[in-house]
Structure 1
Amino acid sequence: MKQIPGKIYLADQRGHWQTPHLQRFSTFNYQDFYQEHKQPYGDLYLVNEETLAGSQNLTYHLDQASHILIIPVTGAVNLSTPANALMPVEVGQVLILTAPAPYSFQLVNPYAQDNICFLQVRLRAKNGIAEVFTNLIPFTLDDPGNPLTEIIPGNSVPNVPDYKFRLSLGRFAGRQEITYPLEDNQQFFFAFVLAGAFEAEGRLLHEKDGLSLWDTPQVELEALSNNAIILILEWPRAEN
């Protein structure tokens, strides 16, 4: 059987940056972390796992128009932008921030002493985006019969025209499996394991590993541990 082309991004090969207030792991090249084989995958150019100490904040500067996904893992995180007061994002919610470049925003830990952990994911947006959009989308992972929850449908991002990507999150029981259908075999596929272990098209994925696949209309996924959690992104290959 012909293997679907793809690439694994191992958790222990991510870029690592640590200060007294921040710990960051980067799947792709980011700031001072650079490796030749960690270039962007299509429009996907950033997958960061970040842990921020109590009462701290981080400022980010965009140099390209982007869709930014903020997904809390532990605790809430507040978004601060030039136009808005603090926008809280809780566990069980995904924030989509779409912005042109140049643009700056802050992420703030609202707790005095407790650390928070969140994922920040960025995809390149079309150059024609001139406004800032925010969308806060709630989700649950409580349906044992349907382990994968589609959070952002593949038709379009709400209120943002002419861009299509699809985000799903799932919690699986051990040995639970699904076939994930892509829109067609011209779509890009990326998975990131938040907890547990999975097998995806013959590739073994451990916690915080990433996987890109292409030239396939579907992906076979099987959880290898209980309460295994995975994030899946899909977007058009030819988007510019």
Structure 2
Amino acid sequence: MAQTVLHKANTRGVADHGWLKSYQSFSFAGYYNPERIHFGALRVLNDDIVTGGMGFGEHPHDNMEIISIPLEGELQHKDSMGNVATIKAGEIQVMSAGTGIYHSEYNPDANHPAKFLQIWLFPNQRNVTPRYDQIVLDQTQSKNEFVQILSPNADDAGVWIYQNAWFNLATFEAGHSKAYPMHGKGNGLYVFVLEGELEVEGQKLETRDGFGVWDTDSVNIKAIGEAKFLLMEVPMEF
């Protein structure tokens, strides 16, 4: 029988630094919940809002796969590998921190906030050579489909990382349902609702709710109203 865990939006950790407001699905920095350390290889899921003209100063990472998905606005990125780039809504950025990197992120628009998901996954290889990539997501995909944006495979759709994980974005019309098939035995699926309402394996979810499912081969997802959501399939043991 499938195992599940529900994380309602209003139970997340909240950090308000003035220039940054961060809603944290898992323990992070000053937010600690021993029952919410990670979901399998998914270590961090932060829903961040960066005030216009502000940002994260240079800081280090190592041995972590770091994915940024802008939802609104844009961020300027600089890192110790020499990359200087701007990421915006409709794109995805990935860094394999490996042996160690430094980077900074800054909202260049003084008048509008930048909203993005910051996601960390434990890697399946340690101390790799650090790497950076970003791509523009395919906006031509039709509704009611799972659109892959990340995988373990460099020649597959989306970006790739050092972990047997698959991410999909989807927008479902009201009433549409579809089963998500797991890629690997022992994987779990974490569903994060960006907008709208879903029913996942009989559980009703609302905007910014998170729901994890594992010990199953597929997960049934139905939109109650039009809904946009992110699916993160990750190994539960790693």
Q: Is the 8 A contact 2:151 2:166 kept in 1?
A: yes
* Partner residue, 1:211: 211
Equivalents in 2 of 1:135, 1:56: separation in Å? 23
The answer for the alignment partner of 2:44 in structure 1 is 46
Deviation at 1:106, TM superposition (A): 1.3
CA displacement at 1:129 relative to structure 2: 3.1
Matches of residues 149-188 of structure 1 in structure 2 within 5 Å? Answer: 149-153=147-151, 155=153, 163-188=163-188
Could you say which residue in structure 2 is the equivalent of 1:199? 199
Between the aligned partners of 1:7 and 1:161, the Cα distance in structure 2 is 25
Distance change in 2, residues 1:60/1:33 (3 Å)? farther
Instruction: Show structure 2 runs of 5+ residues with no match.
Output: none
CA–CA distance in structure 1, aligned partners of residues 105 and 198 of structure 2: 31
- TM-score, normalized by length of structure 2? 0.90
Which residue is equivalent to 1:6?
Answer: 4
Pair 1:236 & 2:235 matched:
yes
CA contact (8 A) 2:152 2:160 kept: no
Cα distance change, pair 85–102 in 1 and its aligned pair in 2 (3 A) = closer
- Residues 207-216 or 147-156, more deviating: 147-156
Q: Aligned-pair distance for 1:161?
A: 7.7
- By how many angstroms is 1:127 displaced? 4.7
Listed one character per residue, the Cα deviations across residues 177-221 of structure 1 (whole Å, up to 9, x for unaligned) are 111000244112111111111010011111101111111000000
Say whether the 8 Å CA contact 2:166–2:232 is kept in structure 1: yes
Relative distance call for 1:104 and 1:154 in structure 2 (3 A) is closer
Count of aligned pairs between the two proteins:
236
- Mark the CA change 1:83 to 1:198 in structure 2 (over 3 Å): closer, same or farther: same
Equivalent position amino acid for 2:172 in 1: F
Q: 1:171 to 1:160 in 2, by over 3 A?
A: closer
For 1:49-83, what per-residue CA distance to the aligned partner results, in whole angstroms no more than 9, with x for missing partners?
11111111114745651111100011111221122
Measure, in 2, the Cα distance between the counterparts of 1:200 and 1:105.
37
Aligned partners of 1:139 and 1:63: how far apart in 2?
Answer: 25
* Residues 238 and 96 of structure 1, relative CA distance in 2, 3 Å threshold: same
Moved more, 215-224 or 31-40: 31-40
1:179 to 1:141, Cα distance in 2 relative to 1, 3 A: farther
Q: Quick one: structure 1 residues 161 and 105, their matched pair in 2 at CA, closer, same or farther if it must change by over 3 Å? A: closer
Q: Contact conserved, 1:200 with 1:220, CA < 8 A, in 2?
A: yes
Counterparts of 1:42-191 in structure 2, within 5 Å, are 42-59=40-57, 61=59, 64-100=62-98, 102-144=100-142, 146-153=144-151, 155=153, 163-191=163-191
Contact 1:9 1:209 survives alignment (8 Å) = yes
TM-score, normalised with respect to structure 1: 0.89
Q: Percent identity?
A: 22
Return closer, same or farther for 1:157/1:88 CA change in 2, 3 Å cut-off. Answer: farther
- CA offsets per residue over residues 2-37 of structure 1, 9 Å max, x none? 5x2110111101111112211110000011111122
Task: Tell me which moved more, 77-86 or 24-33.
Answer: 77-86
